[in-house]
Chains A and B, each alone.
Chain A
Amino acid sequence: MDEKTKTPLLRLAKRSSFPKPAAWAIRVGSILFALLLGCVAILLTGNSPFKAYATMINGALGSKVYLQQTVKKAVPLLGCALAIAPCFKMRFWNIGAEGQITAGALAATFVARTFTGKLPSLPLLLLMAAGAILGGGLWALIPAFFKAKWNTNETLFTLMMNYIIIGVVAWLQAGPWEAQQGRIAQFDASAQLPKVLGVHCGWIIVLVLVLLVHIYMRHTKQGYEIAVIGDSMRTAQYAGMNVGRIMMRTMFLSGAISGLVGFIIAAGANHTLAKEIAGGVGFTSITVAWLSQLNAFAMIAISMMLGILTKGADTLQTAMSVPAAISDIIIGLLLFCMLGCEFFINYRLILRKKTGKGGAAV
């Protein structure tokens, strides 16, 4: 048994505390590392990574028009990340934002089709927004109700709800609401969001939402209840909270914000409804929320970063004929590195050393 004197080559130890600047250095370092890994992917396509990155940055921020398009991509991501933040804080895994966006857009479209021409633009838009809030909220309320009453699994439930509502839109699109070639007619100008600084005013709405969500989560009684439930449901019950009711309320709120995002996409960007309206925003925003650690202000930066990457990749495709999929690879690498770096902030690796104690901290 004497040969068994070796300790394992690598072991982990939890860090007690980590100085904040160093933690941020690791986070920034992880982004740089991901971009470095991205270079390999670009090299494999036979292009110069520097040129590719320069093209991407230029394509995303290089001109006013490019910047406007980037912002347009970031707005729904930010809005939807804000929507799911309260649920995630409560540890209610709502992955149905995609469907809630669609439900909101569907409701807004219904209002637009019913009242266009009967109402002036501003009341019409407000009514569409209200419809979207109600639609998204109610759609989210269904899984919350079942969870509160019979403790169903919210992850599966919210996910499945996505496909139902997308199916409903597909049917409307090809059936009752079809205008031509399986498409729903464009909204009338009175049902389109006005532009501010060249981008539909959705960006103002989501920035206001950032502030509201921040205040709601940090300073209200309801925000406190959400935080307590997220920490321990038993503690919440002990404190006299009605967990089921709070769950339903929070999910309604979350769905309502998602619904509003659906309205912003439909009335601001697409000017119509289609079954692809959410376009993965509901899922990507989970990453945004998670990377910003549910901090509303950090979500602005993260959603902008993802906006830059997607817009930059589009340019890359046209300018250098690098497949746009390269941006997916880079986004994937970024997420991997950024989420992975949290591990190194919480733990340190200790390498085996010949003589005794300590070890190299990574």
Chain B
Amino acid sequence: MDKNCYAIELKGITKRFGPVTANDGIDLGLRRGEILALLGENGSGKTTLMNMLSGIYLPDEGQILADGHTISIRSPKDAYAHGIGMIHQHYKLVDVFTAAENIVLGMEDEKKLDIKKANAKVREICGRYGFDIDPEKKVYDMSVSEKQTVEIVKVLYRGAEILILDEPTAVLTPQETERLFAVLRNMRDDDKAIVMITHKLNEVMAISDKVAVLRKGKYIGTVATAETNPQALTDMMVGRAVTLNIDRPLNQNQTERLRVSGLSCYDHEHVKKLDGVSFTAMGGEILGVAGIAGSGQKELLESIAGLCPIAEGSIRYLAPEGGEDELVGRTPMQIRKKGVSLAFIPEDRLGMGLVGSMGMTGNMMLRSWRRGGGPFVKRKPPRDLANKVLNELEVVTPGIEFPVRKLSGGNVQKVLVGREIASSPTVLMTAYAVRGLDINTSYTIYNLMTEQKMQGTAVIFVGEDLDVLLELCDRILVLCGGRVSGIVDARRATKEEIGLLMTSVGGKEEA
């Protein structure tokens, strides 16, 4: 094969972080006029690899070739010089600037900023590829998908010929995803080389021309999308055949556990984050919560946990043994002292659910440190619990006193879930419980949720992957802009239906 037809070629790229080899001798070629999907589970090294192309990291070993010549990319500026632009998962925009101002920010080639010229050029780029964006709109007025558009235009404005998109669909609704894909196709037809990092198989099948698969930092292979299928790709990704079905038994014995009505709350800047939210959570069911990121999921769970000041509304807890309690206005400690066994697996595992610098024992203690009289902590019960979690959930750690911060994402989550489930909760709330986890650990978590449900726990599962929500939950509550836009039966609803609910309350497009 003629080497010169690669726009960028990677040869034997290796990158290590301490003991972890994130990329191990990876070879990869990108061609112009082609969309390459870079597929792999979380932690398989996709983003690391692309960060070496965009000048964030330097490879420890290996070569990068541009049009057949060896190059060295030491900074994002070098990357732009070679026509490489990356759209990161987390956008880096100045809120109070307009789209065009953000786009020209940091460009040095012009002495004087001519915003009119910039606006015109932005409009020209938008017209060419079919973006829908107003260059004079301020970023704080934008939806997530508009912000993403700004990031993409920013890269094109700088003349990038090779575009890398890191999980671009993670924050988009199905409809917005379709629009993005249309734009990507236009760019491909304009002879750009496009890399899309993803772990969603349906998107790979829908958009890409070729698929390169990474597994645990190793390059597994590249296949033409037309010649493969999701099952084959999954096997490549995971290394063995896995079934993609989640077991969903029905708990016949459901009882009302939480009755939330008219719940509203504001954040620090007095922006309304929850707006009259009402629903009921049943013991013995998994209630999924869907919505675009930032639609009030976090505030909803934190309100129930007593961590978020509530402006209006009530949260009634109906104990399994009878009796009712109001949770609004109580601190987490008061809620626990009331005998409400509430388990909460927050989104920010290390920043909120765990103590990163402590070992498993210290983290188990987080729920029990007050127990027992006297000024001293009792270490034995938490140590026993740590050992139990270690064995039952197969946590991989050098020891139960090893700082959990240094464990891998999956093991961190196992420690957290293990502790929360150990309290035999009557209400179990989870936020993005499988984010960043490999397929195996994800299924462990799904099974634990189902197990809890069958034991009569009311499980509230905030998720981002609609496919998983539809397979795992009994009912799905959809949030949009802090309001409940619908509660659907997960056994009957479709993805499109939920996608529409995610964007369709009160004419608001975005939270």
**B-binding residues in A (CB < 8 A):** 1-2, 4-8, 11, 13-17, 219-225, 227-228, 231-232, 234-235, 237-242, 356-357
Contacts and interface: CB of A to CB of B under 8 A. Distances in A.
Given A7-B72, A221-B370, A238-B332, A1 B365 contact: no
A231 B375 contact: no
Contact of B352 (A15, A227, A235, A242): A235
A240 B332 contact: yes
Contacts of B351: 232, 234-235
A340 B371 CA distance: 42
B350 A232 contact: yes
Nearest to A229: B355
A124 B78 CA distance: 73
Contacts of B175: none
Contact of B72 (A6, A221, A237, A238): A6
B376 A232 contact: no
Contact of B355 (A221, A222, A228): A228
Interface string B364-380: 01110110000111000
A206 B238 CA distance: 59
Interface string B184-210: 000000000000000000000000000
B353 A221 contact: no
A66 B370 CA distance: 49
Interface stretch (B12-20, B388-396, B490-498): B12-20
A235 B355 contact: yes
Interface in B340-360: 344, 346, 348, 350-358
Given A235-B354, A356-B61, A222 B366 contact: no
A4 B63 CA distance: 12
Question: What are the 7 tightest A-B residue pairs by CB atom distance, in nearest-first order?
Answer: A16-B18, A240-B333, A16-B19, A240-B332, A234-B352, A231-B355, A239-B366
Contacts of A234: 348, 351-352
A2 B66 CA distance: 10
B74 interface: yes
B224 interface: no
A294 to B, nearest CB: 12
B433 to A, nearest CB: 16
Given A222-B375, A240-B333, A357 B307 contact: no
A227 B60 contact: no
A219 B376 contact: yes
A227 B362 CA distance: 10
A220 B369 CA distance: 9
Given A13-B17, A16-B20, A240-B333, 18 more contacts: A2-B69, A11-B58, A14-B17, A14-B18, A15-B18, A16-B19, A220-B375, A221-B377, A224-B362, A231-B355, A231-B358, A234-B351, A234-B352, A235-B353, A238-B307, A238-B353, A239-B366, A357-B60
Contacts of B18: 13-17
B72 A227 contact: no
A187 B18 CA distance: 60
A130 B356 CA distance: 38
Nearest to A4: B72
Give the residue among B305, B354, B355, B357 with the most A Cβ atoms within 10 A: B355
6 contacts: A5-B72, A221-B375, A223-B377, A232-B356, A238-B307, A238-B346
B3 interface: no
B81 interface: yes
B128 interface: no
B217 to A, nearest CB: 15
A231 B369 contact: no
Contacts of A231: 355-358
A220 B375 CA distance: 6
A126 B20 CA distance: 58
A237 B366 contact: no
A357 B19 CA distance: 16
Contacts of B338: none
A9 to B, nearest CB: 11
A223 B358 CA distance: 13
B19 A17 contact: yes
B82 interface: yes
A205 B331 CA distance: 40
Interface in B54-74: 58, 60-61, 66, 69-72, 74
B121 interface: no
Contacts of B350: 232
A238 B69 contact: no
Contacts of A7: 58, 72, 74
B248 interface: no
Nearest to A221: B377
B116 interface: no
Contacts of B307: 237-238
Contacts of B353: 235, 238
Contacts of A357: 60-61
Contacts of A17: 18-19
B58 A239 contact: no
A241 B366 CA distance: 10
Interface in B1-59: 16-20, 58
A1 B375 contact: no
Contacts of B356: 231-232
Contact of A232 (B17, B352, B365): B352
B332 A227 contact: no
Given A14-B17, A15-B18, A231-B356, A8 B74 contact: yes
Contacts of A356: 61
B420 to A, nearest CB: 11
A1 B69 contact: yes
A4 B71 contact: yes
A221 B58 contact: no
Contacts of B358: 227-228, 231
Nearest to A225: B369
B71 A1 contact: yes
B290 to A, nearest CB: 24
B92 interface: no
B161 to A, nearest CB: 14
Nearest to A6: B72
B247 to A, nearest CB: 31
Interface in B413-446: none
Contacts of A237: 307, 332
Contacts of B362: 224, 227
Given A231-B357, A240-B336, A1 B376 contact: no
B82 A228 contact: no
A179 to B, nearest CB: 44
A221 B74 CA distance: 49
A238 B82 contact: no
A164 B347 CA distance: 44
Given A2-B70, A221-B375, A238 B344 contact: yes
A202 to B, nearest CB: 26
A16 B402 CA distance: 13
Contacts of A2: 69-71
Contacts of B344: 238
Contacts of A16: 18-20
A227 B78 CA distance: 43
A224 B365 contact: yes
A335 B105 CA distance: 41
Contacts of A228: 355, 358, 366
